[in-house]
């Protein structure tokens, strides 16, 4: 296969020899595998972007109630706070986080989202890509190319580790989403493929060891706020990489380390709701209320 790659090193080699960015390589790989035209492949990704956009807006316009009742209305609250222009962390981050919170509300109320890379982490990529696109004044095609770059990072993680909270903890879910989003943001901002991988490596390192401990076993809390953290992580990592800051540990080694850490996590911290926040007095009380038997 002309555009196949197993890891970050092979991806960077392809970018260098073919003189393409990560998103372009990923789109060509998809074209090769699917047998579709490059236009058809891009159109499919454009549809994903539109679904992300709708989910990112929905929670800002209306209040949704999640199935478990643990989340709902957070996106609107943050958006209203952000509009006062007195936030501590600035408008861009808060706009991105509000979008991520919205997507998570849509997910928790059984609405339509793109599970990239999973439903539990579905707010991070839309939050970062849509907001970066807006801030940089990019065209839709550039956002689509950013999503292809994010996909390349996700593919490498799936091929070499895991994106499942049940297998590798929250680091594998929201950590991967943050890594994907940061690589996309770097590319969208004009950074090099090498910078994208440094950003992805840093985003992963920042949450290495993060456990999965959903209250009452529902993908609501702490998941929604972990998506908020993922957005901030991705954007800060992207900015560091764009500034020329490098990850001390190369991306491929970080992915391997993440997988080893994930496998070493006790089962109580891998989506079983048997540890962490799920077993706090409040977590247990919420669980008993939702499942009163
Ligand atoms: S806590 Fe678990 S279920 Fe929630 S986002 Fe993280 S990995 Fe997914």
Atom number, ligand 1, closest to the C-alpha of residue 118: 8
What is the rounded CA–CA span in Å between residue 124 and residue 141? 19
Position 1 scores a pLDDT of 80
Pocket test for ligand 1, best of 177, 222, 268 (most atoms within 8 A of CB): 222
The C-alpha atoms of residue 62 and residue 259 are separated, in whole angstroms, by: 38
CA of 70 to the centre of ligand 1 (A): 14
Average pLDDT for 12-27: 98
Helix (H, G, I), strand (E, B) or coil at 45: helix
Let me know: does 216 contact 291? Beta carbons within 8 Å: yes
Distance CA 291, CA 118 (A): 25
Label residue 118 by pLDDT band (50, 70, 90): very high
Counting residues of the chain whose pLDDT is more than 70, the rounded percentage is 100
- pLDDT for 130: 98
pLDDT reported for residue 63: 83
pLDDT value at position 81?
97
CATH class of 8-208+220-268: mainly alpha
Mean predicted confidence (pLDDT) in 132-139: 98
Q: Tell me the three state secondary structure of residue 212.
A: strand
Q: Which ligand 1 atom minimizes the distance to the CA of 210?
A: 6
**Mean pLDDT on 81-102:** 97
Indicate the angle between helix axes 140-160 and 38-61, nearest 10 degrees.
Answer: 100
Q: What's the pLDDT tens digit per position in 163-176?
A: 999 999 999 999 99
What's the rounded mean pLDDT across residues 209-215?
A: 98
Query: What is the C-alpha to C-alpha distance for residues 52 and 114, in angstroms, rounded to an integer?
Result: 6
DSSP, residue by residue, 131-159: HHHHHHT--HHHHHHHHHHHHHHHHHHHH
**Mean pLDDT, all residues of the chain:** 97
Q: Burial letters for 67-76: b for 16+ Cβ neighbours within 10 Å, e otherwise?
A: ebebbbebbb
Of 59-63, 77-81, 167-171, 204-208, the one with minimum mean pLDDT is 59-63
Ligand 1 atom 2 nearest Cα: 212
pTM higher than 0.85: yes
Share of the chain above pLDDT 90, in %: 98
Helices in the chain by DSSP H: which ranges? Answer: 8-18, 22-34, 38-61, 74-83, 91-108, 124-136, 140-160, 165-168, 170-188, 193-205, 223-242, 251-264, 281-290
Cis geometry, peptide bond prior to residue 117 (ω within 30 degrees of 0): yes
Cα separation of 149 and 155, whole Å? Answer: 10
Residue 293 has pLDDT above 80, yes or no: no
Find how far residue 73's CA is from the centre of its chain: 21
Kindly state the average pLDDT of the residues 177-190.
Answer: 98
The C-alpha atoms of residue 170 and residue 161 are separated, in whole angstroms, by 13
What confidence tens digit (pLDDT) does each residue in 229-274 have? 999 999 999 999 999 999 999 999 999 999 999 999 999 999 999 9
Query: Can you tell me the mean pLDDT for 199-224?
Result: 98
Tell me how far the alpha carbon of residue 155 lies from the centroid of ligand 1, in angstroms: 19
Ligand 1: lining residues by beta carbon, under 6 Å: 120-121, 165, 170, 173-174, 212-214, 219, 222-223, 226, 271
Measure CA of the first residue to CA of the last residue in the chain; give whole Å: 55
Task: Tell the residue nearest (CA) to atom 6 of ligand 1.
Answer: 170
141, 42 Cβ separation under 8 angstroms? yes
The residue whose C-alpha atom lies closest to atom 3 belonging to ligand 1 is 219
């Amino acid at each position: 296969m002309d555009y196949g790659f197993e890891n970050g090193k092979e991806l960077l080699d392809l970018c260098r020899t073919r003189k393409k960015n990560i998103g372009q390589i990923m789109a060509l790989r998809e074209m090769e595998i699917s047998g579709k035209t490059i236009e058809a492949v891009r159109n499919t990704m454009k549809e994903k972007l539109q679904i992300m956009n709708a989910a990112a807006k929905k929670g800002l316009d209306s209040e949704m109630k999640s199935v478990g009742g643990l989340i709902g209305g957070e996106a609107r609250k943050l958006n209203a706070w952000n509009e006062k222009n007195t936030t501590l962390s600035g408008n861009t981050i808060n706009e991105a986080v509000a979008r991520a919170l919205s997507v998570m509300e849509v997910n928790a109320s059984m609405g339509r989202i793109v599970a990239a890379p999973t439903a539990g982490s579905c707010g991070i990529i839309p939050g970062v890509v849509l907001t970066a696109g807006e801030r940089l004044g990019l065209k839709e095609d550039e956002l689509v190319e950013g999503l292809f770059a994010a996909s390349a990072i996700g593919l490498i993680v799936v091929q070499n580790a895991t994106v499942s909270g049940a297998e590798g903890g929250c680091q594998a879910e929201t950590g991967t989403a943050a890594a994907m989003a940061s690589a996309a943001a770097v590319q969208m901002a004009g950074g090099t493929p090498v910078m994208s991988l440094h950003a992805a490596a840093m985003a992963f390192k920042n949450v290495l060891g993060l456990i999965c401990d959903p209250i009452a076993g529902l993908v609501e809390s702490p998941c929604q706020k972990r998506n908020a953290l993922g957005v901030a992580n991705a954007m800060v990592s992207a900015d560091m990489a764009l500034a020329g800051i490098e990850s001390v540990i190369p991306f491929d080694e970080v992915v391997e380390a993440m997988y080893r850490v994930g496998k070493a996590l006790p089962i109580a911290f891998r989506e079983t709701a048997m540890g962490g926040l799920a077993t706090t007095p409040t977590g247990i009380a919420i669980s008993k209320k939702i499942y009163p038997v």
